[in-house]
Amino acid sequence: MTNTHLIQANGVNKVFPNGCHALKNVSLNINRGEVVVIIGPSGSGKSTFLRTLNQLESISAGDITIDGVDLTDKHTNINKVREEVGMVFQSFNLFPHKTALGNVMLAPVKVRRQAKAEAEQDARDLLYRVGLHDRIDSYPSRLSGGQQQRVAIARSLAMKPKVLLFDEPTSALDPEMVGEVLDVMKSLASDGMTMVVVTHEMGFAREVADRVVFMEDGELVFEETPERFFDSSHPRLQRFLGQVL
Amino acid sequence: MQTLSSRWVGHGLYLVIMAALISGVYIAGQKINYTWHWERLWPYVINTEAQDIVAISDGTAVIDAKGTLSIAPDFGGDPQIVSEYDQLVAREGDLIFQGDTIARIEGWRFGPIAEGLWVTIKLSCLALIFSIVLGVLFGLMRVAQGQVWRNLAVTYVEVIRGTPLLVQIFIVYFFIGTVFDLDRFTAGVAALSIFTGAYVAEIVRAGIQSVSPGQMEAARSLGMNYTQAMIYVVMPQALKRTLPPLAGQFINLIKDSSLVSVISITDLTKAGREVVSGSFAPFEVWFTVAGLYLLVTGVLSWAIQRLEKRLAASD
């Protein structure tokens, strides 16, 4: 019953032009509504793997299927796929020339051809949902890091994606702002959003994840439910957890 | 308060220095025994002298009861009728020869300097628009994925930046102008646009490359295609950063437009040269021409500063 998986990655390999072999035979299936957290030391390929899921990074070998669409097929319109796969970046990447509202509205209006008034109402609702209804007309430069990241999450949600990818969403934040972003992510998870999260927040992994994946040196070393994951005696995992906890 | 008062001291010092400089120039002007005739210049800017109305052909003057003057030609044909004038020169029954002044009319018209200024403004505005089009086009090609586009853009920029504008104007006028049968003005606009376009292309390229790659990634991850991401996300940010260097380039364009006088376009500079030989007032003419250039560049510079301020809302 492999068709029930929303995301299927099979034997994914990525070799960068400089010869760096960043992903080695990574295979991972993700179900609808599942929250998968990927952890691992820096340079382990976890961000690269995440970026292959919306083809910000092309792959050298293997195949990835999202909701039945083969990303490696030359006839696949990658822009259509990306409409369904939201992404939240470590450095927020908000559009600095647009207000919070403008950031959230832009893609629905320009890509989905949604009517402006309707898109604005949706954007207001989303900003309310991430707790920023009072900062709607603020430009990103006037928002704190945590607020910017919440706008970025609202911006991704505005496209009503089937899956959200988080690339170290809290790593660029001051410690006191990590909580507000994680809270938004927790509420998304409890609403049934399919999420793939690269993070160093072990607490989030333990509390929210359905599955935790450990990557090292471009390999997917180990995947387990959080309870078993953090109690595992896998030597490479133990070494890593010993360093971060 | 220290900074505020020192600022006023600075302003005051500036005024003193400027006054010293200007009076220096004035005294120098007196010393060289040059007689200034600013009043001679005026008719070349706006001419308020009465205009002569001249006879088109030989004939006899006839003035009717209403005062309308008509010249009945000696060798048949329609008479020349002059009904609007302020002063009659010809009298009833006079024998008139072709080219004679028959009447005068009051009024004003633009002199050669004003007309030259208008040509310079027209030339600069058209070249500015075309150079933006060329510059954005080649700037985008410079950062495009396809190697062929990048090669083409590099060739354009290097060839145009590597040759003098004066030579380009001659080539456009004598070679391209002959092939495509262009008039002087079109050739002048084309040469200026192509020249400035190369510099604008480099400015646009630098602007696009200064926008963080994360912006393009964020736009693409929302499902925008490359063109949409460029139009809605990258270019607006790039434009804002390129405004100061663009302002400099467009000011250069206005000044460079003076070079088109070499292909006999009567722009402000050529008008100045012609007026000097007619008025014998070279100092006055060149100071005026310089002042008019300064006026045009000043207006442009002010307009771009306004635009910059408006775009600064998101800072």
SS3 B131: helix
Is residue B2's pLDDT more than 70?
Answer: no
The answer as to whether B17 is a domain residue is no
DSSP B291: H
The pLDDT, as a whole number, for residue A1 is 42
Give φ, ψ of B50 to 5 degrees.
-60, 140
DSSP A162: S
Q: Domain boundary at A160, A190, A211, which?
A: A160
The answer as to whether A89 is a domain residue is no
The domain total for chain A is 2
Mark the ranges of chain A whose per-residue pLDDT is less than 70. 1-3
The answer as to whether B117 is a domain residue is no
With CB atoms and an 8 Å threshold, state whether A80 touches B215.
no
Q: Domain boundary at A143, A160, A177, which?
A: A160
User: For A6-29, b where at least 16 C-beta lie within 10 A, e where not — what string?
Assistant: bbbbeebbbeeeeeeebbbebebb
Is residue B47's pLDDT more than 90?
Answer: no
Report the pLDDT averaged over residues B261-280. Answer: 89
pLDDT, chain B, mean: 89
With CB atoms and an 8 Å threshold, state whether B223 touches A94.
no
Q: Domain boundary at A142, A160, A178, which?
A: A160
The pLDDT, as a whole number, for residue B1 is 55
Residue type, A206: R
Report the pLDDT averaged over residues B33-46. Answer: 82
The pLDDT, as a whole number, for residue B297 is 95
Residues present in chain B in total: 315
DSSP B146: S
pLDDT tens-digit readout, A196-219: 999 999 999 999 999 999 999 999
ipTM (interface pTM) = 0.91
Give yes or no for B258 touching A (CB within 8 A).
no
Q: By C-alpha distance, which of B315, B312, B292, B302 is closest to B46?
A: B292
Report the pLDDT averaged over residues B43-51. Answer: 80
Tell me whether residue A97 is exposed, middle or buried, using C-beta atoms within 10 angstroms of its C-beta: 0 to 12, 13 to 18, 19 or more.
buried
The CATH number given to whatever domain includes residue B62 is: 2.40.50.100
Q: Which residues of chain A make contact with B229, given a CB cutoff of 8 A?
A: none
The answer as to whether B29 is a domain residue is no
- Name which of B221, B227, B310 to mutate to probe chain A: the one with the most chain A Cβ atoms within 10 A of its Cβ: B221
The pLDDT, as a whole number, for residue A37 is 95
As a whole number of Å, the CA-based R_g of chain A is: 18
With CB atoms and an 8 Å threshold, state whether A111 touches B224.
yes
Least confident of A232-236, B198-202, B221-225: A232-236
Question: Which of B214, B223, B236 has the CB atom closest to A83's CB atom?
Answer: B223
Whether residues A188 and A225 share a domain: the answer is yes
Is residue B234's pLDDT more than 80?
Answer: yes
pLDDT tens-digit readout, B125-172: 999 999 999 999 999 999 998 999 999 999 999 999 999 999 999 999
The pLDDT, as a whole number, for residue A159 is 94
The answer as to whether A115 is a domain residue is yes
The pLDDT, as a whole number, for residue A2 is 47
Domain that holds residue A29: 1-84+165-244
Contacts of B293 by beta carbon, 8 Å cutoff, 6+ apart: B120, B254, B255, B258, B268
Q: By C-alpha distance, which of B175, B203, B202, B201 is closest to B190?
A: B175
Q: Name the more confident of B103 and B20.
A: B20
